[in-house]
Copies of this chain bind each other. A is one copy, B any other.
Amino acid sequence: MRTHELVLRQVEADLAAGRLRLGDRLPGERALAGQLGVSRPSVREAIRVLEAMGVVRTAVGSGPDAGAVIVAEPASPLTATLRLHLATSHLPMGDIVQTRVLLESWAVREAAGRAEPEELAAPRHLLDAMDDPELPRERFHLLDAEFHVALAALAGNVLVATIMASLRDAIHGYVVAAAADLPDWNATVDMLRQQHRAVLAAVASGEGERAAALVADHIEGFYRTARLA
């Protein structure tokens, strides 16, 4: 067992036992090293891994926000991991698109049956913001991603929403690059806006199957148009 893994194991045990909770601060690197009888570099390596997994956030300086704080950000590590493996070309874009379709279809079908009307306000505001004709493309894509994540969140499953957000983030760069080559951006945007509205309306009226079919068409259609999959 390498030394930094020992530190990791200790922190994980503290988390599982409730000795460390969300918002708590880890002891300082020097203190932790002393407590566990290891050197500071080993502690630092462990903290880097925790940081990469979205379990802690580090900040320099003093005060309540400084140091290594326990957070819960499972999305960012998933994104980074997917992006890296996408870079190595061992994760086909087609599989990612297919997974998105599968997760989002399920999410809207589920959401149609359980989402309260007031929960629909968040995605609706995003759509309103996307109606702005002056919106830069980059901003449109970001709002688009947010809308899909908000939609997935309606299903009430943290894991699915997290995976969705990660998938969308990981391919964001590819989407922006591909969209730049589209022959008629304005027409594409109008179509996307209509499809978004249609999906949300189906969810609002409780038509789960219809919402699922619409969102699947929407996603597959875009990637086909952008020649990404």
- Using a CB–CB cutoff of 8 Å, the interface residues on chain A facing chain B are 4, 12, 15-16, 21-22, 41, 44-45, 48-55, 70, 72, 74, 77-78, 80-85, 87-88, 90-92, 95-96, 98-99, 102-103, 106, 157-160, 163
Contact = CB atoms under 8 A, between A and B. Distances in A.
Contacts of A90: 22, 72, 74, 158
A181 to B, nearest CB: 19
Given A52-B49, A78-B78, A159 B99 contact: yes
Nearest to A45: B48
A9 to B, nearest CB: 11
The quantity of this chain's copies bound in the complex is: 2
A90 B72 CA distance: 7
A102 B22 contact: no
Nearest to A50: B84
Contacts of A85: 54-55, 72, 74
A77 B44 CA distance: 19
A102 B91 contact: no
Nearest to A80: B53
A177 B96 CA distance: 34
Given A15-B88, A48-B49, A54 B70 contact: no
A99 B16 contact: no
Nearest to A167: B159
A88 B49 contact: no
A136 B159 CA distance: 32
Contacts of A12: 83-84, 87
A24 to B, nearest CB: 10
A34 to B, nearest CB: 19
Given A52-B52, A54-B81, A77-B81, A157 B88 contact: no
Contacts of A96: 159
Contacts of A80: 53
Contacts of A102: 102-103, 106, 160
Contact of A48 (B16, B21, B48): B48
Contacts of A160: 95, 98-99, 102
7 contacts: A22-B90, A48-B49, A49-B49, A50-B84, A52-B52, A55-B84, A95-B159
